[in-house]
Homo-oligomer: A and B are copies of this chain.
């Protein structure tokens, strides 16, 4: 039996287009002799559809399109499509009104529906907001093979793997008890660094524990802050990976299930990115590419300071939309060092992107003059520093508005954490490309980029980071070294450690307390930040829900 994985890149809510993509892929799969085609979780609407699910007409459209798709698909091919089903009993039983479901389509009809049983409601996931849990698992039969269907999170509750339970039931165990000889998992699992290794390790464990092969289908593509890496794969009964689709692109992977041995045969195994840097870079490129494409932009713009953050974002953008579609704007002030211009110009040349230079000195003077009566006799400080950043932000938005470009913001996670960034200034942009990269990761990514040839100018990597908002300023005037800062931030943000715990781990109390205070105080800035591409387990964004007017 030939099983095909359609690793699709849906646009959220574009039901007709998504259905077309399923149809096209089904025809290709049929040509390759597939008997069964798997598509990702919610493949018909894209994941996550969020509050679009609250519109009854959206649910009706899904239902209508699913029926049409069933008719249009090659009738002898069995196709599993991710969709939403109405829970008819909801108002009587007090359950939620929808199910996150998989429809089995064959011979022009919807043959069976499977409901997702384990609904994640942590981090970026809000599934309890919309969905009721499926109460039981079902198998379906192809030839003589009983096949069990799980949806994403259904696979993530093996207490012997995690040493704990996240949910009260284990759908995989139930499906094995029902005699499943093959487990399918249809997912929309967002990328984080090295998550694929975790997925494969979990699949290995599951296959061995239950002596059953497993096929994992994932969505691919960028949807706002979330990047889906694809990397669909399959393991045989011994837990060995016997097939893997490509990373970060759509793909169609064909697998062979031997009904005699009840096992998956060795097939095509694509390599995973070798380093974390290679992986993150591909993820961010896809994130930018898809955000631009799905929002209807073909060109992007960003400010180039000659610093490392904007240099990295320019490189990512060039890869994502093509260097000739990237516009870098240099906006030197009287406080800008010579090298900031030289370095930015070098970068422009290395990447082959377009650039403008707009010195902001005159605008700074105009603002100073206008504000003079109000600011008279006050020392120059944060207000004046922010103003420079906001003049630049305005210029970038003016050009973006004029020519219909997407403005990319270039702040890193370390800055966003401690508020070392200007709201309505350098935070301006439709997408914050490296907002989930700590500064040290920004460095390692740039070094990786330069592994064969200089892309990021060498001087950018060696000079001390500076916002250049006053004469001679460097970041370390007001922040600890980035090695220390990033370590403290990871403990605080990712590992939920308290100040006391971090101090006990050997960090200076004064530094730790200062950082904790800065992080808490910068919440109002993060609240108004552009969506930032998520690559860690705990990113500022959908999965970060902090009160602002609070004291802790």
Chain A residues within CB distance 8 Å of chain B? 11-15, 17, 46, 48-52, 54-58, 91-95, 121-122, 126, 128-129, 157, 159, 164-169, 222-224, 290-291, 294-295, 356, 358-360, 362-363, 366-367, 369-371, 374-375, 378, 381-384, 386-387, 390-391, 393-395, 397-399, 401-402, 423-424, 428, 430, 496-498, 500-501, 524, 527-531, 542, 544-552
| Complex alpha-carbon distance, A11 and B550, angstroms | 6
Q: List 21 contacting pairs A-B, 8 Å CB cutoff, sorted by A.
A: A12-B549, A14-B550, A52-B546, A55-B496, A56-B496, A92-B165, A93-B168, A94-B159, A128-B128, A222-B549, A294-B549, A356-B374, A363-B363, A382-B401, A390-B394, A390-B397, A390-B424, A391-B394, A393-B424, A430-B524, A528-B529
Chain B residue contacts of A224, Cβ below 8 A? 547-549
| A217 CB, nearest partner CB in chain B, Å | 21
| A255 CB, nearest partner CB in chain B, Å | 31
Most chain B beta-carbon neighbours within 10 Å: one of A223, A390, A531, A549: A549
Docked-complex contact A551 and B13, CB < 8 angstroms: yes
Which one of B401, B498, B528, B546 contacts A386 once the chains associate, using CB atoms below 8 Å? B401
Docked-complex contact B54 and A13, CB < 8 angstroms: no
| Complex alpha-carbon distance, A77 and B282, angstroms | 63
Query: A501: nearest residue on chain B (CB-CB)?
Result: B57
Docked-complex contact B58 and A126, CB < 8 angstroms: no
Docked-complex contact B366 and A383, CB < 8 angstroms: no
Docked-complex contact B371 and A358, CB < 8 angstroms: yes
Chain B residue contacts of A398, Cβ below 8 A? 367, 371, 383-384, 386-387, 390
Chain B residue contacts of A51, Cβ below 8 A? 544-546
Query: A91: nearest residue on chain B (CB-CB)?
Result: B164
Known contacts A371-B399, A378-B402, A397-B390; is-contact A52 B366 (Cβ 8 Å): no
Besides A358-B370, A527-B531, 5 new A-B residue pairs in contact (Cβ under 8 A), listed by A number: A11-B551, A12-B551, A94-B167, A381-B402, A424-B424
| A289 CB, nearest partner CB in chain B, Å | 11
| A27 CB, nearest partner CB in chain B, Å | 23
Chain B residue contacts of A50, Cβ below 8 A? 545-547
| Complex alpha-carbon distance, A498 and B383, angstroms | 46
Docked-complex contact A11 and B529, CB < 8 angstroms: no
Docked-complex contact A94 and B496, CB < 8 angstroms: no
Query: A167: nearest residue on chain B (CB-CB)?
Result: B94
| Complex alpha-carbon distance, A371 and B356, angstroms | 10
Which one of B126, B367, B529 contacts A394 once the chains associate, using CB atoms below 8 Å? B367
Docked-complex contact A11 and B549, CB < 8 angstroms: yes
- Please name the 10 residue pairs, one residue from A and one from B, whose CB atoms are nearest each other, closest first: A94-B165, A13-B552, A57-B498, A294-B549, A12-B550, A383-B401, A383-B402, A91-B164, A14-B551, A128-B128
| Complex alpha-carbon distance, A362 and B365, angstroms | 11
Known contacts A50-B545, A168-B94; is-contact A424 B551 (Cβ 8 Å): no
Chain B residue contacts of A122, Cβ below 8 A? 129
Chain B residue contacts of A369, Cβ below 8 A? 362
Known contacts A390-B397, A401-B382; is-contact A168 B95 (Cβ 8 Å): yes
Known contacts A56-B496, A129-B121, A295-B548; is-contact A165 B93 (Cβ 8 Å): yes
Most chain B beta-carbon neighbours within 10 Å: one of A165, A224, A363, A424: A424
Chain B residue contacts of A497, Cβ below 8 A? 57
Chain B residue contacts of A387, Cβ below 8 A? 394, 398
Chain B residue contacts of A496, Cβ below 8 A? 54-56
Chain B residue contacts of A375, Cβ below 8 A? 402
| A156 CB, nearest partner CB in chain B, Å | 11
| Complex alpha-carbon distance, A307 and B167, angstroms | 54
| Complex alpha-carbon distance, A274 and B150, angstroms | 55
